[in-house]
Amino acid sequence: MLISMPGRDQSTEGWAAETFSALARMPVEGPEPVVWPFTPYYTGNPFQNVLYSRFAGQGLVAAPTFRATDLLTTTRTWPADVPLVVHLHWLNQVLAKAGDDRAANEAVGRHAELLDTLKARGARLVWTVHNVLPHDTQFEAQEVRLREQVVERADLVHVMSRRTTEAVEDWFALPHEKVYQCDHPGYQGVYPDWVSRADARRRLRIPDDAVALLLTGAVKPYKGIADLLEAVDRVSRARPGRIVLIVAGKPDDAPETKDFITAAAAHPAVRLLPAQVPDVDMQVLMRACDLVALPYRRSLNSGVLALALTFGRPALLPSNSGSLPVVEGGAALVYPPDGVAALTDAVFSCLDADLEALDRAARVASRRIDRRAIAERFAADMRSWVDTGVVPESSPEAEVSVELGTIAGVAAGIPPGASA
């Protein structure tokens, strides 16, 4: 029998077949099944697989959908007796192909019509706010209007930081009665983790007495890459051999990024791996470093921070980061966002910091965002909202302790996305 992995078949027929097959597998005695398409679905990012990993137990059928426009086809003859919730995530696809203001305006209009059509077909709408605006936005006015339209039509807005409402208020407003807060989940059990610190450092040629900072994920200008390299260079000149910067991730094509890669490749204090990091190698980076550097110019939520805390790694980040609540209790060295000088002082402080205390605090923070606890809470709250129409109270931040296991592939029962 020829099959495809759940979430990989992009055909409309495959999406429908998997969705209704998952519905048929729901226990008769359980709660009323609800189909929950989420879009866009990114197969290379485990965030969505983790977030929805407890949905099946609540009678919620999470349906990966690669493009929001695919839902126009798949919901055209949607059964009236099957509840439908459409969950929007990143909105960057909407204006991705716009070349000028006119095209951007038209794309925003089409997206509003799409949402109106889905609502007319009986769908409820949820939006998760991942960023304030896209990091590389070209059409700010249209991006703002796009978010205003989504908020206006959304029945529930999921935020992952309690700083979100304040962070976005200069661009758009989030009505209090629609906002539900539940933290970004960690990645416990998602990535391999057997490499020792000594072996990881040996592989990356990092001296035992050096403090290692890690910059990972996509390498882009908004991550403050130029300032970080300048700060590391200044510290390295003042205290030779005491600081190492590991840079691991796929660079974009921006001129600033190209200049950064050229300079980093030639710098003796840098260990450069300019490519996407395989999952199995992430443990090497995390075990080799002392802190994960997040000197982003603007950041609301960070999957890299969640991953760092998962491995018990503290962070270095500016005080204007939306992720600051996640590291409360000493899981980060926090510095004022005042340019290269402030960042240089922060890097100097890493050399004399109590790294063991930072590690302990990071492990505590990791328990607060345990992926099983977050996924179970999110699924239960979404079930309650579907049944009652009442937006749940924002989830309290609390330490949790659960038995961890591995999570492999897409969550059970998740059908694939669709393609027009």
Q: Which tens digit of pLDDT belongs to each residue from 214-225? A: 999 999 999 999
176 pLDDT exceeds 70?
A: yes
Mean pLDDT of 413-420: 33
Query: Could you tell me the pLDDT band of residue 343, with boundaries at 50, 70 and 90?
Result: very high
**Average pLDDT of the residues in 224-230:** 97
Sheet holding 211-216: strands in order across? 270-273, 243-248, 211-216, 291-293, 315-318, 332-335
pLDDT at 29: 76
What pLDDT score does 414 carry? 35
Taking phi over 0 as left and psi of -120 to 50 as alpha, with beta for the rest, 329 belongs to left
Residue 413 has a pLDDT of: 34
- Containing 157, the helix (H) or strand (E) segment is strand 156-159
pLDDT at 184 (0 to 100): 96
pLDDT category of residue 410 using cuts at 50, 70 and 90: very low
Nearest to 201 by CA among 192, 190, 211: 211
Q: Backbone phi, then psi, for 170, in 5-degree steps? A: -75, -15
pLDDT of residue 8: 61
Is 383 within 8 Å of 59 (Cβ atoms)?
A: yes
SS3 content of the chain, % helix, strand, coil (to 5): 40, 15, 45
Residue 245 is predicted with a pLDDT of 98
DSSP state of 3: -
pLDDT at 415: 34
Tell the residue number behind the tokens 């199995």, with chain if given: 280
What pLDDT is attached to residue 26? 75
Q: Helix, strand, or coil here: 367?
A: helix
- Whether the per-residue pLDDT at 419 is higher than 50: the answer is no
pLDDT average, residue stretch 222-239: 97
Question: Which range has the worst mean pLDDT, 90-99, 238-247, 322-331, 394-403?
Answer: 394-403
* Runs of H (alpha helix) within 289-370: 303-310, 340-352, 355-368
pLDDT tens across 266-295, in order? 999 999 999 999 999 999 999 999 999 999
- Domain 12-185+371-388 sits in CATH at 3.40.50.2000
Domain-by-domain residue ranges, the chain?
12-185+371-388, 197-368
CA distance 34 to 3: 25
d(CA 86, CA 76): 14
Question: Which pLDDT score is estimated for 80?
Answer: 86
CA-to-CA dists, residue 56 to 71, 254, 382, angstroms: 21, 42, 12
Give the C-alpha separation, 289 to 307, whole Å.
Answer: 13
pLDDT at 144: 97
Interval 238-265 mean pLDDT: 96
Maximum alpha-carbon separation in the chain: 69
What is the per-residue pLDDT for 347?
98
Q: How many CB atoms lie within 10 A of CB 170?
A: 8
Q: pLDDT confidence of 408, banded at 50, 70, 90?
A: very low
The first and second tokens of residue 138, run together, are 């070209």
Given pLDDT bands bounded at 50, 70 and 90, which one contains residue 12? Answer: low
Q: Is the Cα dihedral 142, 144, 148, 151 positive or negative? A: positive
Amino acid letter for position 18: E
Percent of the chain with pLDDT over 70: 90
Three-class SS of residue 260? Answer: helix
% of the chain exceeding 90 in pLDDT: 79
**Looking at the predicted structure, is the pLDDT value of residue 395 above 60?**
no
Q: How many C-beta atoms surround the C-beta of residue 32 within 10 A?
A: 12
Q: What homologous superfamily does CATH list for 197-368? A: Glycogen Phosphorylase B; (3.40.50.2000)
Mean pLDDT for 154-164 is 96
pLDDT tens readout for residues 83-139:
999 999 999 999 999 999 999 999 999 999 999 999 999 999 999 999 998 877 889
How far apart (Å, rounded) are the C-alpha atoms in residues 183 and 327? 12
**Residue 405 predicted with pLDDT over 80:** no
Q: Is the pLDDT of residue 44 over 80?
A: yes
Least confident of 35-44, 130-139, 351-360: 130-139
Asked whether the beta carbons of 322 and 315 are under 8 A apart, the reply is no
* Average pLDDT estimate for 336-343: 95
- Write down the pTM of the prediction: 0.89
- Exposure on the CB side of residue 101, measured as CA atoms within 13 A: 2
Domains 12-185+371-388 and 197-368 share a fold: yes
Average pLDDT over residues 47-63: 95
Separation CA 20–CA 63 (nearest Å): 10
Residue 4's pLDDT band (cuts 50, 70, 90): low
